[in-house]
Amino acid sequence: MRLLITGVTGFVGPHLANLLVSEGHEVYGLVRTSNGREDDIRDVVRDENFRSLRFVYGELTDYSSLERILKAQQYDGIFHLAAQSHPPTSFVDPRGTFSINALGSVNLAEAVREFQPACRLMSCSTSEVYGAVSSEKGPIDEGFPLAPVNPYGVSKAAADLFVRERAQSYGLPFFVSRAFSHTGPRRGRRFSISSDAYQIARVLKSLQEPIIRVGNLESRRTIMDVRDTCSAYYSLMLKFAAGEAYNIGGDEVFSMGDVLRMLLDIANLDGKVQIVVDPELVRPIDIPVQLCNSEKCRRLTGWQPQIPLQKTLTDLLEYWQAKIR
């Protein structure tokens, strides 16, 4: 298959590229500018895989560039991962967040509808579209109402609804994935868990005092490895129902405090650092708990998460230790 990844230079994109190339597909990545940024993904993309990747250049908020890209090459499937995905940033820049996430998705879906209507499109949504669901209501399935509590979630909910409406109105092979919390190598240091790993790596290298600044350690999430997330995306691209949404999530629930303790234990720093809550790392509106029901995806594809959190955290810490010089 000839496959295109938007957001290939982000967090998930390079891991997905690794998987798709290893499965023998012809893989293209959409990059915003031709200034060499694509080389940045070599921190997780093996050289033999990188040599197989091809890049196209364009901007999701510029419809004419998408028209040019889709007229130049036919694709069997598109994984739409590109987004402004940091919820705290969405409070600072709600207009920019909505432009990239909602308008960018509208542009892509319309360009595919107009120029390649047979192309499969997976639009990557998020568990944030569900908002702050009480744990008393049980694990969140796809039937729960969309009720986001931050501008990021609102922008993704708009894209989510639009893509599914296009599929239903025009009979297009479009679907939506809603991934719950996932982490691993290359996760940005502004995000929880990766922020902790980044700071721990700096402490290990004597680049900062033994103080770890954190946000809300009481938040609880079903956490999975980014590589398991990619496996779910790929499985769904091969087998999905048009116009449907699919939750993707891990099996076990952890508090952010639990995860921090695991990281400190891996680094042999348990009891050797000071933990300080930094108000700047606390979301204006936090979601206390998110429990995922991903049975719909699992029944359809047979997908199951395979990578234990201990390995995910070990790999994430090793990533930051290699990245920081």
- Whether residue 192 is predicted with pLDDT greater than 70 in this model: the reply is yes
- Whether residue 284 is predicted with pLDDT greater than 70 in this model: the reply is no
Mean pLDDT of the chain: 94
From 31-35, 188-192, 216-220, 238-242, the region with the lowest mean pLDDT:
31-35
Distance between CA 14 and CA 43 in Å, rounded? Answer: 9
Determine the residue type at 141.
D
Looking at the structure, tell me whether residues 171 and 43 fall in a common domain. yes
Q: Which two tokens stand for residue 226?
A: 């980014």
Q: Is residue 189 part of a domain?
A: no
Looking at the structure, tell me whether residues 19 and 115 fall in a common domain. yes
CB-CB contact of 109 with 162 (8 Å): yes
Looking at the structure, tell me whether residues 295 and 212 fall in a common domain. no
- Whether residue 161 is predicted with pLDDT greater than 90 in this model: the reply is yes
pLDDT digits (tens, 9 = 90+) for 302-312: 999 999 999 99
Please give the residue range of the domain that contains residue 198.
194-219+254-288+316-323
Question: Got the DSSP string for 146-202?
Answer: P--SSHHHHHHHHHHHHHHHHHHHHT--EEEEEE-SEE-TT--TTSTTHHHHHHHHH
Mean pLDDT of the 57-66 span: 95
CB-CB contact of 60 with 6 (8 Å): yes
DSSP assigned state of 120? E
Distance between CA 35 and CA 78 in Å, rounded? Answer: 23
Q: Tell me what pLDDT residue 295 has.
A: 97
Looking at the structure, tell me whether residues 201 and 134 fall in a common domain. no
Q: Is residue 82 part of a domain?
A: yes
Q: Tell me what pLDDT residue 285 has.
A: 65
Q: Is residue 18 part of a domain?
A: yes
Angle at 63 between CA 90 and CA 11, to 5 degrees: 45
Q: Tell me what pLDDT residue 88 has.
A: 87
Q: Tell me what pLDDT residue 80 has.
A: 98
- Whether residue 125 is predicted with pLDDT greater than 70 in this model: the reply is yes
What is the model's pTM?
0.94
Going from the C-alpha of 67 to that of each of 12, 64, 170, the distances in angstroms are 25, 5, 19
Looking at the structure, tell me whether residues 160 and 212 fall in a common domain. no
Q: How many domains does the chain have?
A: 2
Q: Is residue 268 part of a domain?
A: yes
Looking at the structure, tell me whether residues 21 and 136 fall in a common domain. yes
Pick from 9, 61, 2, 52: nearest CA to 30: 9
CATH of the domain at 54: 3.40.50.720
Q: Is residue 120 part of a domain?
A: yes
Q: Which residues lie below 8 Å from residue 134, measured CB to CB, with a gap of 6+?
A: none
Helix (DSSP H) and strand (DSSP E) numbers for the chain: 12, 14
> Which contacts (CB < 8 Å, 24+ apart) does range 94-102 have?
94/151, 94/155, 97/151, 97/152, 97/155, 98/151, 98/154, 98/155, 98/158, 99/61, 100/60, 100/61, 100/155, 101/152, 101/155, 101/156, 101/158, 101/159, 102/155, 102/156, 102/158, 102/159, 102/162
Q: Is residue 301 part of a domain?
A: yes
| Neighbouring-strand partners of residue 174 | 121
CATH of the domain at 211: 3.90.25.10
For residue 276, report the phi and psi dihedrals to the nearest 5 degrees: -125, 125
Mean pLDDT of the 122-139 span: 91
Looking at the structure, tell me whether residues 20 and 66 fall in a common domain. yes
- Whether residue 35 is predicted with pLDDT greater than 80 in this model: the reply is no
Q: Is residue 178 part of a domain?
A: yes
Looking at the structure, tell me whether residues 153 and 123 fall in a common domain. yes
- Whether residue 287 is predicted with pLDDT greater than 80 in this model: the reply is no
CB atoms within 10 A of CB 254: 19
pLDDT band, residue 186 (cuts 50/70/90) = very high
| Neighbouring-strand partners of residue 175 | 122
- Whether residue 165 is predicted with pLDDT greater than 90 in this model: the reply is yes
pLDDT band, residue 33 (cuts 50/70/90) = confident
Who wins on pLDDT, 238 or 37?
238
Looking at the structure, tell me whether residues 62 and 128 fall in a common domain. yes
pLDDT digits (tens, 9 = 90+) for 249-273: 999 899 999 999 999 999 999 889 9
Burial of 94 (0-12, 13-18, 19+ CB in 10 A): middle
Looking at the structure, tell me whether residues 213 and 155 fall in a common domain. no
Q: Is residue 244 part of a domain?
A: yes
Q: In this structure, is the dihedral angle defined by the CA atoms of residues 84, 58, 109 and 235, taken in order, positive or negative?
A: negative
Mean pLDDT of the 290-304 span: 96
Distance between CA 117 and CA 173 in Å, rounded? Answer: 8
- Whether residue 135 is predicted with pLDDT greater than 80 in this model: the reply is no
CB atoms within 10 A of CB 188: 12
Looking at the structure, tell me whether residues 43 and 66 fall in a common domain. yes
Coil, strand, or helix at residue 62?
A: coil
Looking at the structure, tell me whether residues 35 and 63 fall in a common domain. yes
Q: Tell me what pLDDT residue 281 has.
A: 75
Q: In this structure, is the dihedral angle defined by the CA atoms of residues 128, 134, 135 and 137, taken in order, positive or negative?
A: negative
